[in-house]
Amino acid sequence: MANKSAVITVDGKQVEMNVRSGSIGPEVIDIGSLYKNTGTFTYDPGFTSTASCESKITYIDGDEGVLLHRGYPIEQLAEHGDFLEVCYLLLYGELPTAAQKKDFDHRVTMHTMVHEQMSRFFTGFRRDAHPMAVMCGTVGALSAFYHDSTDITDPHQRMVASLRMIAKMPTIAAMAYKYHIGQPFVYPKNDLDYASNFLRMCFAVPCEEYVVNPVLARAMDRIFILHADHEQNASTSTVRLAGSSGANPFACIAAGIACLWGPAHGGANEAALNMLAEIGSVDRIPEYVAKAKDKNDPFRLMGFGHRVYKNYDPRAKIMQKTTHEVLGELGHRDDPLLEVAMELERIALTDEYFIEKKLYPNIDFYSGITLKALGFPTTMFTVLFALARTVGWIAQWNEMIEDPQQRIGRPRQLYTGEPQRDYVPTSKR
Ligand code: CMC
């Protein structure tokens, strides 16, 4: 088959550009030579029509509501896999054999502790600091502790840094939580699985035995799986952009954490839960739906809408099931927040405004309720997202470093400021 091309005409001059096909999904027009040939840039703020890289890790079909990691549907991974298996898949490209899985679990487990001096970093923060502020600082600080895994040209060091990051994030996240509530840090326990260990580090206290509830641990693990990667979202693109300059992996992940914090991204589940609490009861829903539809009101229904999914977010369906399992296990089936959430979902899914704009509930709509039931304060929600997304960030970062096409990311702009003018001394202004 002949190579496809696209032609663009600028000031009467025609330029032909290659059209590249992926394995699935939309084709892309390779505009790399556009500036050289026409002296013009493309303009696409928010990257709505721009592929920033080539990737083999995650595929999303937003119209159909499909999410694949290395080709495997998220529904199958969440149903049959565990989080570390998904980590292996994202990092290495294939599901592990039983022996590979055992070895991988062991290698991750060997890195769960953090340098003891790290604990001093925590005490430098105010007690009322948002745990995401603590995460930005402490994860960035890892590069000051693990010098033997910051040479990004060495594949072995890159893998050690990757495993360290996956292993230490639960420990750091739990420390951020314990510091926040004024309890002593709980060290990791390596005979527990990843999610159980995390729950224990968050909720155990030295003076009592802590028994992990397997239903809750499974729910926690599933939440991690559902957040593991999501192709070139804002925080992943931030990690890639930071990494494109050659920055070390710990610094790049800290950059990703900073980006994730915003309410339009990882902060949405915290915002969604706050919104449900503000609505408070089913009879107030119409008032909030009307606010969301009012063009003159900036209010948005948090947990609804997605840049890519113009259909039900497949993760939201699994999350909804997990929410019911957790609330059932804890005897919270009649939680008023859940009642408000269900009714809000029903109304939004049948309302013309939401149907027309294809605004479906996203994963954050349900994850907030589940995390609250598990015992986490809202301020920890984005921290848990960061913990789970770390593997996606690090897999995408590794892929970028290994990409022979990789260059420093350097977008251009449409300048609309003052043209050149001469400096005027203060006395003459
Ligand atoms: N409630 C009411 N109206 C909405 C909402 C909403 N949640 N989301 C979008 N709209 C409207 C928006 O006003 C606009 O209307 P119009 O065309 O009349 O101006 C239209 O839908 C398109 O919105 P947009 O802002 O251009 O869409 P976007 O792709 O830039 O934004 C979004 C996507 C997720 C930022 C946005 O839907 C939103 O703010 N949602 C609430 C926050 C949220 O739940 N974020 C979690 C995203 S999923 C997790 C993650 O990726 O981190």
* HSE-up (13 A, CA, CB side) for residue 402: 15
**Nearest CA, atom 36, ligand 1:** 305
Catalytic center residues: 306, 364
Same domain, 38 and 137: no
Same domain, 17 and 154: no
Same domain, 44 and 77: no
Q: What mean pLDDT do residues 199-213 have?
A: 96
Of 111-115, 164-168, 172-176, 361-365, least confident by mean pLDDT is: 361-365
Same domain, 47 and 148: no
Same domain, 164 and 16: no
Same domain, 240 and 347: yes
The total number of structural domains in the chain stands at: 2
Q: Are 108 and 96 in contact (CB under 8 A)?
A: no
Ligand 1, residues 362, 363, 385: which to mutate, most atoms within 8 A of Cβ?
A: 362
Q: What is the predicted pLDDT for the residue at 345? A: 86
Task: Name the amino acid, one letter, at 19.
Answer: V
Q: Are 370 and 326 in contact (CB under 8 A)?
A: yes
Q: Are 285 and 255 in contact (CB under 8 A)?
A: no
Residue 65 domain-assigned (yes or no) = no
**Which CATH number belongs to the domain containing residue 397 in this structure?**
1.10.580.10
Same domain, 371 and 336: yes
Residue 425 domain-assigned (yes or no) = no
Mean pLDDT value across the chain: 93
Q: How far is the CA of 365 from the centre of ligand 1 (A)?
A: 13
Residue 411 domain-assigned (yes or no) = no
**Residue 114: CB partners within 8 Å, gap ≥ 6?**
142, 145, 168, 171, 172, 175
364: confidence class by pLDDT, cuts 50, 70, 90? confident
232-244 pLDDT, tens per residue? Answer: 999 999 999 999 9
**Which CATH number belongs to the domain containing residue 24 in this structure?**
2.20.28.60
Q: What is the predicted pLDDT for the residue at 400? A: 96
Number of H helices, E strands in the chain: 18, 6
Ligand 1 atom closest to 308 (CA) = 29
118-137 pLDDT, tens per residue? Answer: 988 899 999 999 999 999 99
Domain that holds residue 24: 5-51
Residues of the chain with pLDDT > 90, as a percent, come to 80
Same domain, 370 and 397: yes
Same domain, 30 and 142: no
145-189 pLDDT, tens per residue? Answer: 888 888 899 999 999 999 999 999 999 999 999 999 999 999 999
Q: What is the predicted pLDDT for the residue at 366? A: 86
Q: What is the predicted pLDDT for the residue at 2? A: 63
268-289 pLDDT, tens per residue? Answer: 888 888 999 999 999 999 999 9
Q: How far is the CA of 307 from the centre of ligand 1 (A)?
A: 7
pTM: 0.90
